[in-house]
Structure 1
Amino acid sequence: MTVTQSDCYVTLRLPTASVKRTKTCTVNDNKDPVWNETFHYRIQNQVKNILELQVCDEDRYTEDDHLLTVFFDVSKIQLGETARLKFQLNPKGKEELEVEFTMESSPDVPEKIFTNGVLVSREVACLEVQVEGGKKKENSTENRFTFSVGGSHEESQNLTLGTWWCPAAPAKFHYIKFNQSELEIELRRRQLFADPRDNESTTVPLTLLPLREQVTIALNKTFDLNVKSKDWTQGWLFKRPKDIEVRLGYDLCSEEKSFLQKRKNVVSAALNGILHLGQNLPESEVPVVAVTTTGGGMRALTAMYGTLWGLQRLKLLDCVSYIAGSSGTTWTMSHLYEDGNWSNKDLGELIKQARIQAAKSKTSAFSLESLKKYHKELCQRTAAGYMTSFIDLWGLMVEAMLNDGNNNHKLSDQRKAVNRGQNPLPIYLALNVKDHLTTRDFREWVEFTPYEVGFLKYGAFIRPEDFGSQFFMGHLMKKLPESRICFMQGMWSSVLSKNLLDAWHATDNSEDFWNRWTQDAVTEIEEVPELPERSYEIPTQMFTPSGNLSNALRDILTDRPAVSKYYNFLKGLQMNNEYGQNERFLKWKDTTLDDSPNRLRETADHLELVDSAFFFDTSCPPLMRPERKVDVILHFNYTGGSQTKPLEQASRYFSEQGIPYPKTILSDDEKKCLKECYVFEDEHNPEAPIVIYFPLVNDTFQRYLAPGIERSASEMSMGNVDISGVFSPYSTRQVSLPEEDFNKLLNLTNYNVQNNASTIVRVLHKAVELKRRAQASQASS
């Protein structure tokens, strides 16, 4: 390598093979250092292996300078091939890094893996460590050991020797069987104030341990270490790798498929009555209709009740198979689904209860007595194993504002409300974000249903009762009790998770400031000689870190006041070698990290979940999963600001992602005088749903008490609904809504639905005809 005069060394990191970062020796005062050192990695060829070569300048007085990093896709090297490559680091200065690669086959037995073409779950081994010998002295820590296995589920454990009649339980570690893992052992010295650097320590490479055989290692004259590594199997009766509890697959789960079959019977009968078909539709001709909403706190809660009430009065609610919500509408949904048969009852009684909760004073939810109660429950939640944050406190406050006393309802309990297809299936939405990145730069859609919680992008799902529990490599490691619904409500409406750059983007679409002052530089570089290209390879990249000032600025601007943290059920899972070509992944590939698998799947212990409105305020994304085959979307907007922005953002996003969706852009003239209802469709793409859009506008409702019934002079005031004015009672910040204002907004959204009943019926009739034509076309082909 040719560089300026410096003390250079190179570190190597291949996280899919080893958690350990290795380094060359340092070549001092040399502008053309040569290392001639060899490093070996055992890799899984179905995994995307990206080698990181970091060039550093050693400094004996300060922290070493990280000059740059090269990211190289190892799959570019063919089996049995040796390639000497030069990476062009600075074309102007002719600086380059020369590396020789050799790919050889491994004599190991082929690894058994699970994969959906995007994520890979690898074989897991279990290591047991038992210390023999020694004698524990009372009130002493001299017989205390620390064991660590980097990259394992447990990471590190402390073990204190017991007595001969009560020996200490062995320390256990679960790790990737074919990774280059090491057991690090540290024995504390006897002196009370001993320097930790003087502790006795040793390292045991786990690749050298024979499987299923106990090995004794002498630590010193006093202690022996019994180590045994074994396959993690289903049990003594089934000697095969343990099945994983994370479902890897983009298809709908069997429970949702069963629900849809049952729900289509309900929808078929409803459409027969509404469209006067003469007979129920066969399952293949029943369109899938979904309701999607935007958030907005108490305003959204109230407006959604009115919408659903209007649909029920028109007998259209039984035509709906899905209801998707985010932020404030999740409060409405989670309350409704406590009743297993809510959509078949008169919603008036449920609305009456909601009106009482909306109108009551919320001061008690923030009282000192309540805060003490919250603190007690958060301590209990921490003791149960959860990592609590202010968002959990917010969830308890939401519960106090919307209920009288604790609500023990859980997400999995909502299965009772859909087990016969008697209600639409609820879908709740959140975003997974990362530290030091804005929501615009990185976010991942996470959906929640009574059947599963999972990532749209990765096709990875778990049962809702396991959400929050600890997982490793797709295996359930430690079961935590399922959270009460209030903690989920707090997460779905986490209003305090916005960082400064999220706020900046909300008011200014310019990227110049962010790109110029806070982002690291990542550029594609060439290797010489140029290797044959394959469709699934990732181009070689060079990462140049930003300076200390930029790092400090980024930390300030991207710090979020609070996020909802849950154990990451994707922990340990690696990216498939061809993940970048997977059609389903490409549908949701939309962040700066999607082409950087090492950073994308960094081993994060926790998910960081926030309100999905931080990206755009609509709960549409789960409905666009092609497996759900949604034909008609009833899109209800409850935002207090622009009544077209959420729709336009969704349309633009789906267009960029290549997801079939009609263009929903209104002209400036149309925006000046919005109607109550719009229909958008793409006649050239049968896979695109028909979207019926309802902005939150007060148009003919000002003059009509109900469709066709004009208001009297005394009733005109009830038609005056100030949605977004400066003194509007429906501000998102308002936590209470007086009864009169609640009724006004409830009746407005109810009216807007009923006043456009003919439009909805017309679209449903068209959807049935399109399904019939599609079936006839398939039958004739």
Structure 2
Amino acid sequence: MCLKNLGIHCDQNNVPNIVVLGSGGGLRAMIALLGTLVELKKQNFLDAVMYLCGVSGSTWCMSLLYGDGKWSENLMYLEKELCKNLSNFSWHIRKAIKSLEESSKDEHYSLTDFWASCLVYQILQQFDENELADHREASETGINPYPIYAAVDKEKLNEEGVNFPGTWFEFTPHEVGYTALGAFVSTKLFGSEFENGKLKKRGKKKHICYMQGLWGSALGSIEEILKFIRDSLALFLQRSVYSDEDMFSHRLGSVWGVSKMVWKTIQCALTWKWGTTNNFLYNCPNFQSSYLVKTKVISLIDAGLAINSAYPLVLRAKRRADLIISFDFSSGDPFETIKRTATYCQKNGIAFPKIEDQEMDKENPSECYIFQGDKSCPTVMHFPLFNNANCSGNTQLMKQVMKEALPDSD
């Protein structure tokens, strides 16, 4: 009906599957995706979108929206509320410390826990304690596009590189798992301990703030990340020692708890431990050929470290994507994501339109590029945020201003 109202006629059994991709780019990507969705709504096109898939900063926008079961209908209001929240400083250090003290008791505590409580909570100005599985209702009514969040396996990315399909790990409100393997487990059981394909021990529930830290863990350089960790730990220790708001005995206990958390965080920094969780495929009899069967623990990180847009997830054959509308919010090469995707598809025998036929000037990009192939592959529309239409010839200057003003990711 949405397409019909736009003058695009198709019968009910031949409705195209339309996907919207949001790239990484920190807070800039989060704000840009929100603005993009608002404009899609104003153009009466949003209701035609089947899947909404994000990486890094775009996942922050998505996870905030799906807390509202009818977000696509309430988008203008949510936009105002989000702008209001971002302009108010509501990060509470005591809440962050309490969360970290509790998280550090877990054997799989990692820098992702620290990142979520200290950086993501500060940037988004809210600590969402709901779970991803709580977004099922918002995904089942048919009112909103279906959400897909991207991560990658840290060890496999290091070993196999960006063109290995088994690197990619996806999250939805219903299931999480390895896209290329077709191996999934209920989202409610993410982090639980499995063996031989059977649940052994339920894991501690992971709140949305933690997931936002996992999906968006690639901001800045390693040096900047380490400096942020050092400064935050020093602040926590100072606050716990010199706080005069509590009784002495309580303060002493707090100092001890914070000290243990600090020590554990330092250990994680020394080993660069991120996104550590139980592997649900451990000794699974149905996947004997998989490298994961002998791996008890995996580490998941920001998918932007592989490809800064989640093409590998939406190109999953069963999703039957006909049209991919990709919004690229990167501050670097505006064509890097689609170039990397083309290489990924070529090396893995995945149908994807040829991109070499079009001239792509990264110093002066146009506002939209359309890549088409035969019927075996989807049509791709690629929209660089920084282009010669909305930047009026000052693309490089605009990039620099935005990069300095907003947290960025690769």
TM-score range, shorter chain: 0.7 to 0.9
Q: Which has the higher helix share?
A: 2
Paired AA for residue 446 in structure 1 = F
**Aligned match for 1:572, one of 273, 276, 283:** 283
Paired AA for residue 399 in structure 2 = S
Aligned twin of 2:7: 275
RMSD of the alignment, in Å?
Answer: 2.9
Q: What TM-score results when the alignment is normalised by the length of structure 1?
A: 0.43
Structure 2 distance, partners of 1:724, 1:412, is 36
Quickly say closer, same or farther: Cα 1:721–1:315, change in 2 above 3 A.
Answer: farther
**Aligned match for 1:651, one of 342, 357, 360:** 342
Q: Which has the higher strand share?
A: 1
Determine if the alignment matches structure 1 residue 457 to structure 2 residue 180.
Answer: yes
**Aligned match for 2:381, one of 692, 711, 726:** 692
CA contact (8 A) 2:386 2:399 kept: no
Paired AA for residue 394 in structure 1 = W
CA contact (8 A) 2:364 2:388 kept: no
Structure 2 distance, partners of 1:642, 1:317, is 27
Aligned twin of 1:562: 273
Paired AA for residue 108 in structure 2 = M
Quickly say closer, same or farther: Cα 1:304–1:496, change in 2 above 3 A.
Answer: closer
Determine if the alignment matches structure 1 residue 490 to structure 2 residue 213.
Answer: yes
CA contact (8 A) 1:439 1:614 kept: no
CA contact (8 A) 2:151 2:214 kept: yes
Paired AA for residue 440 in structure 1 = G
SS in 2 for 1:427: strand
Aligned twin of 1:393: 114
Structure 1 distance, partners of 2:357, 2:117, is 40
CA contact (8 A) 1:293 1:636 kept: yes
Aligned twin of 1:446: 169
Determine if the alignment matches structure 1 residue 428 to structure 2 residue 138.
Answer: no
Aligned residues: 359
Structure 2 distance, partners of 1:318, 1:436, is 35
SS in 2 for 1:450: coil
| Superposed displacement of residue 733, structure 1 | 4.4
CA contact (8 A) 2:219 2:408 kept: no
How big is each residue's C-alpha offset from its partner over 1:452-471, in whole Å with a ceiling of 9 and x where there is no partner? 10111221111111001111
Aligned twin of 2:367: 676
Structure 2 distance, partners of 1:298, 1:326, is 12
Determine if the alignment matches structure 1 residue 325 to structure 2 residue 54.
Answer: yes
SS in 1 for 2:181: coil
Unaligned stretches of 5+ residues in structure 2? 224-269
How big is each residue's C-alpha offset from its partner over 1:548-574, in whole Å with a ceiling of 9 and x where there is no partner? xxxxxxxxxxx8623111111111125
For residues 239-638 of structure 1, what are the structure 2 equivalents within 5 Å?
Answer: 269-275=1-7, 277=9, 281-345=10-74, 347-361=75-89, 365=91, 370=93, 372-383=94-105, 385=106, 387-397=108-118, 398-404=120-126, 406-434=127-155, 437-438=158-159, 440=161, 444-495=167-218, 561-573=272-284, 600-601=291-292, 603-638=294-329
SS in 2 for 1:305: helix
Structure 2 distance, partners of 1:672, 1:637, is 15
The higher relative CO (CA closer than 8 Å, separation ≥ 6) is in: 2
| Superposed displacement of residue 632, structure 1 | 0.3
Aligned twin of 2:355: 664
Paired AA for residue 45 in structure 2 = L
Paired AA for residue 137 in structure 2 = K
Structure 2 distance, partners of 1:436, 1:348, is 39
Quickly say closer, same or farther: Cα 1:673–1:373, change in 2 above 3 A.
Answer: closer
Unaligned stretches of 5+ residues in structure 1? 1-268, 501-558, 580-596, 704-718, 735-781
| Superposed displacement of residue 496, structure 1 | 6.7
Structure 2 distance, partners of 1:436, 1:350, is 36
For residues 44-123 of structure 1, what are the structure 2 equivalents within 5 Å?
Answer: none
Structure 1 distance, partners of 2:390, 2:152, is 36
| Superposed displacement of residue 606, structure 1 | 1.5
Q: What TM-score results when the alignment is normalised by the length of structure 2?
A: 0.79
SS in 2 for 1:562: coil
CA contact (8 A) 1:431 1:609 kept: yes
Structure 2 distance, partners of 1:678, 1:435, is 32
Structure 2 distance, partners of 1:448, 1:436, is 18
SS in 1 for 2:390: helix
CA contact (8 A) 1:357 1:401 kept: no
CA contact (8 A) 1:448 1:454 kept: yes
CA contact (8 A) 2:364 2:387 kept: no
